[in-house]
Amino acid sequence: MKTYIVSGMLGLACLFANTAQAQFSVDGQLVQRAEYRHGYGKLISENDEAAAFIGQRARLNAQYKMDKFSFYVSVQDVRTWGSAPQIKATDPYLSVHEAWAETRLGDHFSLKLGRQELNYDNARFLGNLDWALQGRAHDFALAKWEKDNMKLHFGAGYNQDAEKLSGRLFTTPNQYKTAQFVRFENGRGNFSYSALFWNNGRQYVVTDDLNQVVDEGIRYMQTLGLPTLKYQLKNTIISGFYYQQLGKDVAGRKVRAFDASAQVSHALDLNPDKGRKLRLTAGVEFLSGTDNNSSDNINRSFAPLYGTNHAHNGYMDQFFVGGRHDNTVGLQDLFLRVRYDVNNKLFTSLNGHSFSAFADVYNEQVKSDSGLGYELDFSLGYLINDAVSLQSGYSQLFASDTFKMLQGVQNPDRNQNWAYLMMIYRPTMKNKFIGLLF
């Protein structure tokens, strides 16, 4: 079946190349990342050995465009080197990342249907998860109205496990059964902003002692936000965002949570002819949480549901990536980012984070210190040519006793670190680096 998918894409390429060469394009990308993990994602015990591996993503993209119609398919192969034997008949690593069609219904209106990325603002709440090799795409219906600086997008998704003859129980984990959203953006002069509403419907199931379903349905949680608030004055940018969550979580608790951030960034052009510049950014983010001694049945922990969370709160992914630190004491993140562009091809950056819990933390009914620790993230990027880039990084986490207690790791190692080296082949994409926030 997977061979048919790739063969079909190549067949379409040959067909349209002869009849409408200017309207058909085929491109792709290859990402190869070697990682050393010694505390990435979760604190590592002093008795555990560090992990090391090489992961790879290969995507083949095909797009056919007419005056009022676009068709796009992206097929990807995601694997770890060595996860499949050298001699094999097939393997489970090939899949369809995107498959959509977009139809223009007027000068400013279009409709996009199918599996697609939803990647908006700084990807705090809605992102394509580009850092993770598998990425993220939604099965979605998206309507778009765009004119000049104004963009109004609205859409919905409805998910089921498979075609059925009866019943609508949805069992795919960590995914909405139904969702609806509206997003608007605009800009005037040096000020730009966006507004978002997302209604997230999760399936809940109640079973008896015999594991028989006695109740099931959908519980809805709403997220309202201002994902982008940005004002630029020459080389200084003041920006921020705010989200509010309400409704009910999948466990039936009331949700009263928020996420707020503000930052200021200033760029110094040291040598414009060579592209040499220095950028300094300082800011803070507050993600509300629920103290671990609470008993009022209210969930105050903000959930950045479908964001590219690797780009926020430290590159070691201790917070809000893969469900980590969800439904817990929240986070206060004070950060300082420094990026130095040596020239138009080479940059280096250093990010510092000071983490603490937003809500109170208790250890056996005794209130603990709220500090969670510190993290330093060093990154380097180099454009080898217009198609190929090199990216690497090293991170060090200094975890507090409170954070060690929250994670429940026995005898955590004093040294918690992570490093990677990545080759990125993206000949047609503007973004040559992955997972970095400047």
CATH number for the domain that contains residue 304: 2.40.160.100
In a domain, 110, yes or no: yes
Structural domain tally of the chain? 1
Residue with the bigger pLDDT between 15 and 379: it is 379
Q: What is the pLDDT of residue 344?
A: 95
In a domain, 25, yes or no: yes
pLDDT digits (tens, 9 = 90+) for 336-375: 999 999 999 999 999 999 999 999 999 988 899 999 999 9
pTM of the model: 0.91
pLDDT digits (tens, 9 = 90+) for 159-212: 999 999 999 999 998 899 999 999 999 999 999 999 999 999 999 999 998 888
> How large is the average pLDDT for residues 76-83?
98
pLDDT digits (tens, 9 = 90+) for 283-339: 999 999 999 888 888 999 999 999 999 999 999 999 999 999 999 999 999 999 999
In a domain, 437, yes or no: no
In a domain, 430, yes or no: no
In a domain, 68, yes or no: yes
For 151, residues 6+ apart whose C-beta sits below 8 A from its C-beta are 144, 145, 183, 184, 185, 186
In a domain, 434, yes or no: no
In a domain, 94, yes or no: yes
In a domain, 432, yes or no: no
Range of the domain at 347: 2-425
**How deeply is 245 buried, as exposed, middle or buried, from its count of CB atoms within 10 A (0-12, 13-18, 19+)?**
buried
